[in-house]
Each structure stands twice: as C-alpha cells, then as structure tokens.
A and B are shown apart, each in its own frame.
Chain A
Amino acid sequence: MRQRKGLIGYLFILPALAVILIFRFYPILQAIRMSFYKWGIAGPLYTVGFRNFNRLFIDPKFYQSLGNTFWYVIFVVPLTIFLSIFFAQLLNQKIRGRGAYRTIYYLPVVTSIVAISVVWKWILNPDRGILNAIFGIFGIEGLKWLNDARGVFEIILAPVNIEPSGFLAGPSIALLALIIMAVWHNIGYCVIIALAGLQNVPEQYYDAAKIDGAGSWRIFRHVTLPIISPTVFYLVITQSIFAFNTFTPVYVMTQPPGGPLGTTKLVVFYLYEQAFRLWNLGYANAIAFVVFIIIFLLTQFQKRFIERRVHYE
C-alpha cells in the first residue's frame, strides 16, 4: 500500500518531470558540453577544448556587445525604476481617474514587443517620424535616431573638445532610441509593483512625519523609501535580468540588425547571430555560458550590496 502511494506521486509528476528533464535539464548540461566543441549544423563535430572561450576573450565584437549591454542596462533600469516610483507616488493619492491612469500606464505591458518595435521604428524615423516632427515644433533639430552611431557622451563632450571613443563614448543615439522604448514599455509593470509597495506604508507614518514638520522630500526619503526598499530591490533585480535578455527590439528595429556599426548589438542578439545565422552553435554556447555567469554574478552583487540597504520589517 505504502509502495503504491509513492508510485502515484511519481506518476503525477511524470509529465512535468519528463519535459523538464528533456527540455531544460538536458539542454543545460548539453550547453556546457557544446561550448567545448566546434559544433556546426552540418559537418563533423570535434572537441576544441577551451578554444571557444579563448576566441571569446579576444573577440572584439563580443566585447562590444557586452559594452552595449552594459550601457543599456545601466540606463534602462534606473530610469524605469525612478520614473515608475515617481508616477506610483502620484497615483498613490485619492485623486479622480486613478483607475484610468493605471489602465493606461499598464497598457504597453500586454502589447507584443514586435508590434511595439515596428511602431517605435516608425515614430523614430529620421525623415518622417512624429518624434522629430514634435522636436521641430519646438525648434529642435531632429536626430537620426536608429541610424546614428555616435555615442551620447561623445556628443555631450564635443563642445569641450574631449573625444571619448569606443566603450567610453557611451550608448549610441541608436541604442538610446532602444533605451527610450524599453523604459516606455516597462514602466507600467514597475508602476503597479511600486504602487503595491507604497500601499504598505501605514497612513500614521505620514501623519507623524507631517506633525514633525517634515517636507515631502524628507518624508519620501526617510519614511517611504525605507519601507518600499524591498520592492525597489525586487524591481532592480528583475528589471536588470529582463534588460540583459533583450533581443526582439534589436532584431526588428535596427538595420542591419545590431547596427549602425554594431552599436545596438546586445549580447543576446550576438548569441542569436552566432547560433542561428552563422550556425556556430559551440561558440554561441560559450557566449551563453558567459551570459549566464554574468547574470548570476549580477544578482549576487545586487544581493550583497543593495540588499544591505534594504529594510525588511
């Protein structure tokens, strides 16, 4: 009887287990193995030891994609979180139309990123896009957006005759366009999460702070922020991982994909290109392996250094 009972448990998890073993667990092992092979779609496989990794460490395109991804994450995550806390603060009051605002802010989250990319590419069109038209109304000269490979810092520092290049030039205008779109896309999700965090702040705390004569910034800094810090921390981690895995906008919006001059080639796109355009599956796995380690270290780092400042009740 006991024996049979146990058997039923295994039987019930069998479908889930089978899929996980075949399509998650085995591929992960295989990924590690493949990264030590020269593994094309056809032709002989042979083991190459660490050569995929050696090649990776001297591959300038890989470093460029890492640099791009670094700027992308560094810009997208704080901007998204800052703006979403700002709007969540505004929404966390008794005002009319609160529900409608929430609905609107959240709308991009359920919208397909392919469609969003198509529309934003049109909005950002250098010659006929509405964004440059709006700029025109205010007398600002339009930008070339997705076609502009110049780095942001390069442009800002040009008047003072400093010419940073490569990684130090910062994200290109084209990458900046992707950053703006990503912030727009993710804000709704973060607003809802931040709002949930803000609703945890007891009303009395605000009243007490007001009686003590604290201004709104001081209330935010010393009352609100400590209480919502676990929420902010959660957002930092999830948004960083999410930004790190960005692929679709690069594929749909940039021309040639990852261009101009490779300045929008994010690391996951580079991985895709190596694996499924050039069919260097072994090499792609070496990239995947490094991506995995970076994401892992990133979350560990954030846990170590940001979580220290997080107050849990």
Chain B
Amino acid sequence: MSRKFTVHILLAFGALWMLLPFFWMIATSLKSQMEALRFPPTLFPQALMFVNYLEAFRQVDFSRYFLNTIIMTFGTTLLVFVTSTLAAYAFARLRFWGRDQLFIVFLAMMMVPVPVYLAPSYVILSRFGWIDTFLALIIPWSVNVFSIFLLRQHFKTIPQDLFDAAKVDGLNHFQVITRIVVPLSKAVLITVGIFQIVSNWNAFMWPLIVTHSDSMRTVQTGLAYFAQAESTNYALLCAASTFITAPLIIMYFFVQRQIMESYTRTGIKE
C-alpha cells in the first residue's frame, strides 16, 4: 500500500513537471498583456482573452504559414510514400546487378549528420534556382532512407506464393504493388506517414536556411520570426505557440500508439 503510494507520488510529480510548460503556455495565452507581465504571476487568467489568438494570427501572416506547412508536409509525405515503396519493392523483390551494394550505400547516407551537407545543399539549391521555393522545402526530403529500410524489411516477409499467384494472373509490377504489396503493408506505411508528418510539421533548421521571404515561411520559422519581432509580448507568443502545436497534439491523442511506435522503430528525431 505505502509502496504503491510512493510510486504514485513520484509519477505524479514527474507528470506535473512535464505538464507545467503546457499549462503555462495555455494560461499565458489567455491572459491580457498586462496580466501576463504581473509578478508574482497569477496562476489562472482573470478574464479569458481568446482575442489573443486572433491578434497573433493578424500580426503576422500565420494563415499563410499554415498553408505553406501543409503543402510542404503533404508534398514530402506523398513523395516519400512513392519513392520509398518503389525502391523498397526493388530492393526486396527484384534482382539487378549491384542491388545489395547500392542498398548499403543508401544506409550509409543515414549516418551522415545533417550539418555536414547543409552548406553544400544550399549552394546546389541556389544553382538550381530553387532557394525560397517549395521545391527546396520538398524535393531534398522526398526520399527517406529509413522508410525504404522499414518497407524493405516488411516486403520481404510477404509470402512468395502471393507473388507467384500474381504472376499467373498476369499482373505487372505496378499492379503487384498497388493490389498486393500496399494493402498488406498498411501498418508500416502508417508508421512512415506519421513520422513524416511529425518531422515535417516541426522542421525548423532546413526551412530557416532555404527560404527567405515572408510568404514562404512555415509555422515554425514564422513563430521564430514572431518571437523575435514581439519578444516581450508573451501572451501573443504563447497563443501562437499553442495553435502551432495544437494540430500535432490533437493528432497525438488519436494515434498515440502509432506515434510512439513510429519513433521507437525509426529512432530518429529531428
């Protein structure tokens, strides 16, 4: 009894510590600017200033930033699905010269930390004339080696009988992928998709470097810009932080298990 009680106390203390920043973000976001700056602070807002959210949206072009982020996230995720499925299928089920060596080269690319290719990527993108466009945000991230790896491992477990049957039925490779492989790989594809959505939504360093104009900002670079412009207006900054994190947190409550799984399996964080 007392042991269980101690465990609960410790866990609750940990949970409180984990939740405090979220509570403080939302509480501050609903305070008036005057109240936000009071010290010692009020724990709960005296009057709920929902208008802060509108105000934050109005001060900088957050609707544009949301749109950009959605385009980037969906564009990247969609392309990752296509490139990874095709490549994983080839690596798992097709025979061609140099296949396994090439796969090892792919995996080796994962070991290189992002800072190493930051500056040269910028030079390449500017030569292509892609700086400050969606192409720069999407195309370099349209392939994810770990997704290829995950899918390849899964495709290898699909019984050969199914492929033989497909051959007898005269299906070509595209039909095999769309009718057999993809329906049997839903769980892995969801893992890949969730990982893409989370990491694109939260991406910061890359968009910061490859875009310059206000109209190309994502929610993350937009918030960082807003934080510099309004460095003391914490009510508005917390409102903006809340509505930027809200989509993923809402998604998290629905697909929590899959999110944890996708991070446990991919083991990469950005």
Contact = CB atoms under 8 A, between A and B. Distances in A.
Given A22-B124, A34-B120, A119-B21, A107 B140 contact: no
Interface in B232-251: 234, 237-238, 240-242, 244-245, 248-249, 251
Nearest to B22: A107
B238 A119 contact: yes
A189 B241 contact: no
B205 A248 contact: yes
B266 to A, nearest CB: 11
Contact of B117 (A12, A27, A130, A295): A27
B113 A241 contact: yes
B201 interface: yes
Contacts of A120: 21
A251 interface: yes
B18 A23 contact: no
Say whether chain A's binding surface is mostly helix, strand, loop, or mixed: helix
Interface stretch (B94-102, B156-164, B184-192): B94-102
How many residues of A sit at the interface, in one of the four size bands? Answer: 35 or more
A101 B11 contact: yes
B94 A31 contact: no
B106 A20 contact: yes
Contacts of B8: 95, 97
A222 interface: no
B51 interface: no
A122 B22 CA distance: 12
Contact of A113 (B40, B202, B237): B202
A40 to B, nearest CB: 11
A15 B87 contact: yes
Contacts, number: 260
Interface residues of B, number: 91
A19 B256 contact: no
B89 interface: yes
B4 interface: yes
Contact of A133 (B41, B112, B204, B253): B41
A23 B118 CA distance: 10
B60 interface: no
B227 A9 contact: no
B36 to A, nearest CB: 8
Nearest to A83: B14
Contacts of B205: 247-248, 272
B122 interface: yes
A25 B105 CA distance: 9
Contact of B116 (A87, A109, A247, A289): A289
B116 A291 contact: yes
A115 interface: yes
Contact of A114 (B7, B21, B40, B204): B204
A268 B140 CA distance: 20
A110 B143 contact: no
A200 B117 CA distance: 39
